[in-house]
Amino acid sequence: MHARIVMLVDLDYFFAQCEELRDPTLKNKAVVIAMYSGRTAESGAVSTANYVARYHGVKSGIPLFLAKKRLEGVESVFLPVDFEYYEGISERIMRMLKSYADIFEQVGIDEAYLDVTRRASDNYDAARELAQQVRSEVMIQTQISSSAGIGPNKLVAKIACEIGKPNGLTVVTPSEVISFLHPLPVDRILGVGRKTAARLENLGVRTVGDLAGFDAQRLTEVFGRKLSIYFHNAANGVDDEPVEESGEAESISRIATLKANTRNLALVLDRCTELIHEIHKELVKKKLRFRQVGITAVLSDLTIRSRSKTFDQPSRDIETICRAVRELFEKFLAKSDLGVRRVGVRVSAFEKEELAQKQLTSFFTNQ
Ligand code: TTP
Ligand code: MG
């Protein structure tokens, strides 16, 4: 049994950096990427800005007129978003990142989680080495600088990555998690925005450590049960969200927490039934047929196990998913001596009907 090593790679000031790549004379100027709303020639918001512009207080989301005001007297360039160009660069980089991961999950145009547990042989020094390699490959191949964070889960990896930006690498080993997180301002935690941070401040909570030590009962009264459990776990660096293969065309998956940890097959399958129904609905909607069914189990010690089964023929049949999930969990539970905490179901290896049809048609017309 082992814990995970999760890496987050996020490209630095991405849209603006792409523009600098196209026109290196921009580098010493303030570069602002503008999303024009079209209402007037000048109205809109900042998509992102390079670090020269950030130094003057320009950041994502602020109105363009404010950005202009803050850059008065500074040599600056405003450019419209060129999404297609950025996407081309992103795709190349994502392919590189993927080749470094056991499990790869892209979460935005310039951001991806890599589960590197196996690749790094459970070793944080090896993971650091891997991050250096992947960042330098991206730099050499595309001249794009990136930052990476490494930790035992997504939450820690994400915060670590942000801390080291730009062009940084921050590694947080399991024994360093608490001392890393606790001094940070509480709004570093995903989901703690300005309003929540202000409410927390009223309760005397400024740092992540304050939040971790705050009375659980009182937190629940203010934020409700669900959110306060999340806050409490996050403040202690606990996060068991798996890194999951992403991409619409690659897989559809659902994951859910059980009422209590269990090794009981019937209870596990009961929870899976709901997930299977949701997955099936999506398969029908997207007209997809799968050739692979997989299960994920997050165990009581938070380790994650996955199993899958591949079929010769593509299918969209709900019965096929149910049978495969039962078979996989039956085998899995027979061997596991730990209780299961969360269960996941995944279908993948898709064959899109229309696509198959199209390929067939073009095959015949090419004869
Ligand atoms: P981010 O990774 O959040 O920002 P960034 O890459 O510009 O800067 P950082 O160095 O801090 O990572 O977002 C990636 C891209 O998404 C960003 O370049 C532009 C776009 N974006 C918007 O269009 N609007 C927004 O509000 C944000 C946050 C990002
Ligand atoms: Mg970025």
pLDDT single digits (tens) 77-134: 999 999 889 989 999 999 999 999 999 999 888 999 999 999 999 999 999 999 999 9
Integer Rg of the chain from CA: 23
Strand residues in 231-322 grouped as ranges (E): 251-262, 288-299, 304-315
Overall pTM > 0.75 = no
Tell me which ligand sits closest to the C-alpha of residue 109.
1
The answer on pLDDT for 367 being more than 90 is no
Residue at token pair 């069914």: 293
What mean pLDDT is predicted for residues 174-186? 98
Dist. CA 96 → ligand 1 center (Å): 20
Q: What is the pLDDT averaged over residues 16-45? A: 92
Q: What is the pLDDT of residue 294?
A: 96
Average pLDDT for residues 22-41, to the nearest whole number? Answer: 92
User: CA distances (Å), 278 to each of 267, 275, 314, 342, in order?
Assistant: 18, 5, 19, 17
Residue 13 φ/ψ region, left for φ over 0, alpha for ψ in the -120 to 50 degree band, beta for the rest: left
Amino acid at site 46: V
State in Å: Cα 90 to ligand 2 middle.
Answer: 11
Atom of ligand 1 nearest to the CA of 81: 23
pLDDT value, residue 40? 83
pLDDT(362) > 90: no
Lay out the sheet containing 103-108: strands in order across.
Answer: 103-108, 111-115, 6-11, 146-151, 169-171
| The predicted structure's pLDDT at residue 217 | 94
Pocket test for ligand 1, best of 8, 9, 14 (most atoms within 8 A of CB): 14
Name the active-site residue from 111, 129, 250, 351: 111
Whether 111 sits among the annotated catalytic residues: the reply is: yes
- The pLDDT, as a whole number, for residue 353 is 54
Q: Which residues form ligand 1's pocket by a CB distance below 6 Å?
A: 10-15, 47-48, 60-61, 109-111, 165-166
Residue 366 has pLDDT above 50, yes or no: no
pLDDT value at residue 247? 54
Q: Ligand 2 centroid vs 100 CA: distance in angstroms?
A: 19
Mean pLDDT of 16-40: 94
Q: In a mutational test of the pocket of ligand 1, which residue from 10, 48, 58 has the highest number of ligand atoms less than 8 Å from its CB?
A: 48
Centroid of ligand 2 to alpha carbon of 121 (angstroms): 28
Confidence of residue 347 (pLDDT cuts 50, 70, 90): very high
